[in-house]
Structure 1
Amino acid sequence: MTAKIRYEDVEPGTELPAASFPVTRATLVQYAGASGDFNPIHWNERFAKEVGLPDVIAHGMFTMAEAVRVVTDWVGDPGAVSEYGVRFTKPVIVPNDDTGALIEVTAKVAAKLDDEARTVRVDITAMSAGQKVLGMSRAVVRLA
């Protein structure tokens, strides 16, 4: 798969289409099975509260993966992301109800890095319940 977005067509400040990703307790159990991370803070409300959390929280790597989907959906090729890093600032709290939580993601091209390699840096903002859940969330992306 090749990147659909052309390097020539973007400038710093170009906004990527925003997206929202729902998270339920069932989602977390599925992710635990796929990742092998069965830490009870991600599925056991009683345990999460006993260790000082307000409720069950989403896996950090799950949150990170959902956030970068805005970039991979925009560029059309997950392999176009050559670097990606975040700082975990707040947990995504997932209540035990029908709605769960929502991760709301926006992103924009922050800089053109290398004309020859056709790379850009994309800054990502991930919010949940009105709080920023990832800091310093940045991806380097190779464009067509």
Structure 2
Amino acid sequence: MSVPAYDAVEKGTELRPVTVKLRREDLVRYAGASGDFNRIHWSQRVAQEVGLPDVIAHGMLTMGAGARVVTEWVGDPARVVEYSVRFTRPVVVPDTDEGVAVTFGGKVADKLDDNLVRVDLTALAGGDKVFGAARAVVRLD
């Protein structure tokens, strides 16, 4: 995949959405890789005791999955020079084979100097908005 040309990209350009399915087994794998074994990510009882509706996905797992919208568009993760997310709600992961589908989207919100563009990102899980303010700054050709 080639890197989009800065001059060819316009404000409002929509990035192709990416849908990621998260299941409880994915949370276990992520916990092992990240070292984050907080029980809210695998124990329904503990999650509900602290006021959550059920087990929730790790924030960093959700954030990383959301970055795929940008990295797939630009073709090179090294071109992402800044990335930040504010969450509005957690991603609840039911104990089913289907898990939950999280759909990430993005739109070019601004063209900056030095071949940089700002992309605003969205995330929806079960129809609920997951990302509040989510932005990436990307260097184009």
**Corresponding residue for residue 120 of structure 1:** 117
- 2:43 corresponding residue in structure 1: 44
TM-score norm. by structure 1 comes to: 0.95
Counterpart residue number, 2:31: 32
CA contact (8 A) 1:3 1:80 kept: no
Task: Count residues with an aligned counterpart.
Answer: 141
Name the SS of the counterpart of 1:31 in structure 2. Answer: helix
Q: What is the deviation of 1:132? A: 0.8
TM superposition score normalised by structure 2? 0.97
Aligned to 2:109: 110
CA contact (8 A) 1:3 1:143 kept: no
Kept after mapping to 2: 8 A contact 1:3/1:142: no
- Give the unaligned 5+ runs of structure 2: none
The 2-side partners of 1:70 and 1:13 are apart by: 15
Q: Does the alignment pair 1:57 with 2:73?
A: no
Q: Which whole-Å deviations, capped at 9, do the CAs of 1:18-54 have from their partners, x for residues lacking one?
A: 1100000000001111111000000111111111110
Match for 1:4: what amino acid? V
